[in-house]
A and B are shown apart, each in its own frame.
Chain A
Amino acid sequence: MVKPELENKELFKSGHTACAGCGVAVGLRHIMRALGKDTIVVNATGCTEIFTSAYPKSAWAVPYIHCVFENSAPVAAGISEALRAMGNDHTKVVVISGDGASYDIGFGHMSGMFERGHDVLYICYDNEAYMNTGVQRSGATPWKAHTTTSQVGKQIRGKMQFKKPLTEIVAAHNVPYVATSTSAHYADLQQKVQKAKEIKGPSFLNVLMTCVPGWGTTPSLSMQYLKDAVDTHVWPLMEIENGFSKLSMKPEKKPVEAYLKGQKRFRHLTEEDIAEIQEMIDERWDHWVWKEKVDQERKAGLEASE
């Protein structure tokens, strides 16, 4: 008999079958805590579907629907329109999809949903490859990372292409609220989910989460890698509200080795590779700092003229 104070009263229950140290499970707990009970979860195929809804059990204490890889955005759009027709203006429809479903397979449908402007919060949990089927490369896999379909040999050393800038692509749809976060920055993540929940219309969150077998990391360090991803500027935490971007955190820069070391998918990197990655990251970070400055000046100017 379990003690009452050791009972899980959250909306995302224990007993799911995620790997030990799963970053996605941590993130889903934070997301569900911020969303509350009045939520309908639409979940595309991916790790989340597999580990939370192994038949006949479910880890969700809210209404939950699973749909095929590409379909989560249209299904959510349909639910939100049905709720509107029924006069329900309080239940929030939330899509939870992996990077495979958002960056690649469901991309067109997601784009359509944002263009039509349905009242849906789309959360992409980005663990940077198709982890559920055994680590295949996706549009989200970073440059030079090893996956089973971007092998490391003499000629080709990991993924040859760069990561797709999905956050910016979604922001270009004129979505009112776009943000990035990670599952280790729980205050930041919960704040952003709550903010997105209040918006009537589409909103998008891109959340970086670790994958222990896919990244080849130690389970106990799952949260540390995500903190390092932010501290090394690999994954800037930001918000783009009505087109005005703002960095949520400007940490003192750590060298990128702090993030890359210890991850098996990056163990083949040479010093030149790391120097090149560092250069790319610095360039991206400078771009975001510059963009924030321009956007905030423009916003202040618009507010002054009103």
Chain B
Amino acid sequence: MKPANGKPGTSMENKTGNWRSERPEVDQSKCIKCGQCQLNCPDGCIFVTEKGAEPNYDYCKGCGICANVCPVKCIKMVPEEK
């Protein structure tokens, strides 16, 4: 049997995105690409790309820190609906 014991970085298999009740939505036209959201995200799941900030919804728990620290307030928290 293959030993399952903690290989480095295997937590990436946990898709914590399903914890979320609100999701961050970015208005990329207003984004100034300062990187505050990327730095302050506890889950390391929002990134500044060429277009602007972009969240990775696989891991985002919807805490809203990114929306709070954004200096131009281009991130909005939107309720998740199923």
**Residues of chain A whose beta carbon lies under 8 Å from any beta carbon of chain B:** 2, 5-8, 10, 12-26, 29-30, 52-62, 64, 184, 186, 219-224
Partner pick for B63 among A10, A20, A64, CB 8 A cutoff: A20
B6 touches A57 (CB 8 A): yes
Partner pick for B67 among A16, A23, A184, A220, CB 8 A cutoff: A220
A21 touches B63 (CB 8 A): yes
Complex CA–CA separation, A20 to B8 (angstroms): 22
Known: A15-B16, A223-B65, A224-B68. A2 touches B8 (CB 8 A): no
**Chain B residues whose CB sits within 8 angstroms of the CB of A55 once the complex forms:** 4-6
Mind listing 17 A-B residue pairs with CB under 8 Å? A5-B47, A5-B49, A5-B54, A6-B49, A6-B54, A8-B44, A13-B11, A14-B45, A15-B11, A18-B42, A20-B63, A21-B61, A22-B63, A56-B10, A59-B11, A220-B63, A223-B68
**Residues of chain B whose beta carbon lies under 8 Å from any beta carbon of chain A:** 4-16, 19-20, 39-45, 47, 49-50, 54, 56, 58-59, 61-65, 67-69, 77
B40 touches A15 (CB 8 A): no
Complex CA–CA separation, A142 to B44 (angstroms): 30
B16 touches A14 (CB 8 A): yes
Complex CA–CA separation, A19 to B4 (angstroms): 25
**Chain B residues whose CB sits within 8 angstroms of the CB of A16 once the complex forms:** 11, 14, 16, 43
A25 touches B9 (CB 8 A): no
**Chain A residues whose CB sits within 8 angstroms of the CB of B14 once the complex forms:** 15-17, 54, 57
A57 touches B11 (CB 8 A): yes
Known: A14-B11, A20-B62. A58 touches B6 (CB 8 A): yes
**Min C-beta distance of A185 to chain B, whole Å:** 11
B47 touches A15 (CB 8 A): no
A15 touches B68 (CB 8 A): no
Partner pick for B13 among A57, A219, A221, CB 8 A cutoff: A57
